[in-house]
Amino acid sequence: MPHKIKAVIDHGLAETKFGEWEGMAFSELNKRTEWQYFNRLRSWNQPPNGELMIEIQNRMVATLRRLWQAHMNSVVAIVSHADPLRLALAYFLGTSLDHMQRIRLDPASVSIVQLDESWIEIMAINRCESIAL
């Protein structure tokens, strides 16, 4: 580890719990009506025995708030999966859960959110080039 950065696993940043859909291929899911409904109106539909999008968004935002409070005035790198990150960005942007898929997040991309007590600023979304912090 050249930067001597310690990785800490935080379950608040975990992937969506897809319940009965866990491990299913998209080719199989695409045949299911409930999967189509889920992708059209995520704020209302949920995977069978899985999480509602609002639950994931609440979990992500609560975790980010806790991390912000623990590391004020520091740079913190958060690593998670695309949908939970989209949900957090949608919250900070004031965007509907049903529009979260409009936020493009490529694998290993970087989005930057600056937080303080009275202000949230989205500084970058889906950056794939090197970023100096």
Q: Going from the N-terminus, what domains does the chain have, and what CATH number goes with each?
A: 32-127 (3.40.50.1240)
How many Cα atoms within 13 Å fall on the side-chain side of residue 41?
5
Residues 122, 124, 129, CA angle at the centre, nearest 5°?
A: 165
Tell me how far apart the alpha carbons of residues 60 and 65 are, in angstroms, rounded to a whole number. Answer: 9
φ and ψ of 87, to 5 deg: -65, -40
Q: What is the pLDDT of residue 133?
A: 63
Q: pLDDT tens across 7-46, in order?
A: 899 999 999 999 999 999 999 999 999 999 999 999 999 9
pLDDT level of residue 129 (50, 70, 90 thresholds): confident
Both tokens of 47, joined, read 């995977």
Q: What is the pLDDT of residue 73?
A: 86
Q: pLDDT tens across 65-103, in order?
A: 999 999 988 889 999 999 999 999 999 999 999 999 999
- Other beta carbons within 10 Å of 103: 19
Residue 113 near residue 122, CB atoms below 8 Å: yes
Q: What is the pLDDT of residue 32?
A: 97
What is the chain's alpha carbon radius of gyration, rounded to the nearest angstrom? 16
